[in-house]
Amino acid sequence: MLPARTVIPASAAETEIVTVVAPGGTGLPRRTGGYAIDRVVELTRLITNLLAAGSRIDKLAYRKSLEARAPASVKALANDLACYAGFSARAGGLGLPADEARIVAFVEDCERRGLKPATVGRRLASLATVHGLLGAANPVAGPIVRDALRGFRRRFGAGQRQAGALRYGEGVGGETPKGFTLSALLEACPGNVAGLRDAALLSVGYDAGLRVSELVAIFCEHITKQDDGSGLFVIPRSKTDQEGRGATAWLSPDTMRRVAGWQSEACVAQGPLFRRVAVIRTQARPARRARALSELQGNARWDLTALQPEPAQPAAVTYAIGETALTAAAVRQILKRTARRAANEGLVALFGAELDAAIAALSTHSLRVGLTQDLFASGEDAGPIAQALRWTSTATALRYGRNLLPSSGATARMLKNVRE
C-alpha cells in the first residue's frame, strides 16, 4: 500500500493543504443508499408467484439461460416481468403461462399507462423468454399480438427515444454539433484527483465506444501503451460477448495521457481503473493569540489549553481513493454533474429549459452514440462502424446515426463544395 501524499502550499494561511490517500489507506465514508437487489432471486420469485397450479419451471433450462445472459439483461428481464406481474394483480386470472388474449390485454394496459412502444416491445420479448423457460408455447409470436403492437406503434406516432449524443466537438465530422460535446465536458473537469478521473473516464468511454458495463469493468492490466503514444484496450467480455472471446479497442494518445495522469495522482497501478474518490474537506481556521484567564467564559476557566495561542490552520482537502470499481449509477452522476459544470462555466450555449432537457437526455450510452455519429459524419460506412463498436449487425449503427445533423450527412459532404 502506498502512503498518503500531502501537498503543502507555500502560504498555508491563504490556500489549502491537499492530501491524496492511496487505495486501502483509509476507509471511505459509507453511503446509505440501500442494498443491491439479487435479480436472479427476484426473477425466480416473480415467476413462481405467477405460475398456475401444476406448472413447473424447467430448472436446467432456467439455470443455463441465466448463465448465458449479462447481468444487465437479467435485470431487464426481472423489471419486465415485474411490470407484467403488476398487470396480473390488477386484472386477475391466470398469470403464466399466458395466451394471446392475455398478452393483448397487457399491451393495451401498457398503452393506457403511457408506456412507449419500445418499452412494451422489450416487455413482450422478456415474456417470450419466460415462456421458453417454462417449456410453454410462445403467445407473443401470435398474429393477434403482433397486430396489437403494430397498432400501438402507429397510434403512438414517434420513433424510439435515443440517448443524447455526446459527440467530440470541433475538428471531427465537419460542422461542430450544438449542445454538449466531449471537448466541453473535458474542459469542465477540474484539475484535482476526481477531475482527472472523470476526464480519463469520459475519454476512454468515447474512444472505445464503451457500454457502461464495459467501462466500469476496466482493469489497469487491460490497457497497453504503444510506441506512438496510443493505447490498446482489451475488452474481456461484453453484452454481446458473454462467452468471453474478447475484443480490442484503440485509445488515442490524448486519452492515454489522461489515464496516466489519473493513475499517477491516485496511485492506481493495478486492479479496477476507475474508482470512487471520497472528498473530505476541513475549513480554514484563523490564528489565535494567547489569552488571559479573565478573558475566558466562566465555564471555560478550568480549560487551561484555551489560554494558549494557536497558529492559523489552512483549509484542507483529502482525496481518499477507493479499492473497488465505480458503479454504473456513479458514472451516470459523473456525466450529468460534469455537464452541469460545463454549462455553469459557459462552455455550452444552453440555458433554462433547453439546458435541463439536454442534461436529462444524457445517459451512460451518450458516449457510444456520439462516437457512432462522429464516425458517420466523417464518412465511415455502417459495416466498419459496427465492427469498431462490436455490434453483430449494422442495424444498430444505422439507428444510432439517424439523428445526425443533416449538415453532417452524406448529401451535405458531397454537395457542400459543389452547389455553393
**Residues 78, 69: Cα–Cα separation, whole Å:** 12
Domain contains 146? yes
What is the pTM assigned to this prediction?
Answer: 0.74
**Residues 90, 79: Cα–Cα separation, whole Å:** 17
DSSP string, 34-75: -----HHHHHHHHHHHHBPTT----HHHHHHHHHTS-HHHHH
In terms of Cβ atoms closer than 10 Å to its own Cβ (0-12, 13-18, 19+), residue 211 is buried
Q: Mean pLDDT over residues 248-262, rounded?
A: 97
Closest CA to 70 of 207, 209, 235: 235
Please list the alpha-helical segments (H only) found in 165-283: 182-188, 193-208, 212-215, 253-266
Q: What is the mean pLDDT of the chain?
A: 86
Residues 120 and 242 in one domain: no
For residue 49, which phi and psi values (nearest 5 degrees)?
-70, -25
Domain contains 304? no
DSSP string, 113-143: TT--HHHHHHHHHHHHHHHHHHT---GGGSH
Does the pLDDT value for residue 5 go beyond 70? no
First to last CA, the chain: 64
Q: How many CB atoms lie within 10 A of CB 76?
A: 17
Quick one: what percent of the chain has pLDDT higher than 70? 86
- pLDDT value at position 13? 43
* Banded pLDDT at 111 (limits 50, 70, 90): very high
Q: What share of the chain is helix, strand, coil (3-state, %, to 5)?
A: 50, 15, 40
Q: How many CB atoms lie within 10 A of CB 288?
A: 12
**Residues 58, 61: Cα–Cα separation, whole Å:** 5
Does the pLDDT value for residue 322 go beyond 90? yes
Which has more pLDDT, 50 or 306? 50
For residue 287, which phi and psi values (nearest 5 degrees)?
-65, 155
Residues 331 and 212 in one domain: yes
Domain contains 29? no
Which has more pLDDT, 245 or 150? 150
CA distances in angstroms from 378 to 131, 162, 230, 385, listed in the order given: 44, 21, 20, 11
State which H helix or E strand residue 316 sits in.
Answer: strand 315-325
Query: Using one digit for the tens of pLDDT, what is the confidence trace for 70-97?
Result: 788 888 999 999 999 999 999 988 799 9
Q: Who contacts 299 (Cβ-Cβ below 8 Å, separation ≥6)? A: none
* Banded pLDDT at 287 (limits 50, 70, 90): confident
Residues 177 and 96 in one domain: no
- pLDDT value at position 73? 84
CATH number at residue 77: 1.10.150.130
Residue 150 CA from chain centroid, whole number = 32
Residues 335 and 380 in one domain: yes
Q: Do 216 and 325 meet the contact criterion of CB atoms below 8 Å apart?
A: yes
Query: Using one digit for the tens of pLDDT, what is the confidence trace for 180-239?
Result: 999 999 999 999 999 999 999 999 999 999 999 999 999 999 999 999 999 999 998 776
Domain contains 116? yes
β-bridge pairing 275-282 and 315-325: antiparallel
Give the strands of the sheet with 231-235, arranged side by side: 223-225, 231-235, 247-251
Which of 25-29, 258-262, 305-309 has maximum average pLDDT? 258-262
Query: Which amino acid type is present at position 99?
Result: D
Q: What domain range includes position 68?
A: 39-156
Which of 1-15, 234-248, 276-290 has maximum average pLDDT? 276-290
Residues 114 and 137 in one domain: yes
Residues 273 and 377 in one domain: yes
Among the candidates 99, 124, 156, a domain finishes at 156
Residues 139 and 183 in one domain: no
Angle (CA) 240-242-248 rounded to 5° is 65
Q: How many distinct structural domains can be found in the chain?
A: 2
- pLDDT value at position 367? 96
Q: Who contacts 318 (Cβ-Cβ below 8 Å, separation ≥6)? A: 18, 19, 20, 21, 279, 280, 281
Query: Using one digit for the tens of pLDDT, what is the confidence trace for 122-163?
Result: 999 999 999 988 888 999 999 999 999 999 999 887 555 667
Q: Mean pLDDT over residues 170-188, rounded?
A: 88
Query: Which amino acid type is present at position 377?
Result: A
3-state secondary structure of 225: strand
DSSP code, position 393: S
Among the candidates 103, 126, 156, a domain finishes at 156
**Residues 41, 395: Cα–Cα separation, whole Å:** 34
- pLDDT value at position 354? 92
Domain contains 296? no
Q: How many CB atoms lie within 10 A of CB 189?
A: 22
CATH number at residue 189: 1.10.443.10
CA distances in angstroms from 139 to 247, 259, 337, 338, listed in the order given: 37, 50, 44, 46
Among the candidates 131, 156, 181, a domain finishes at 156
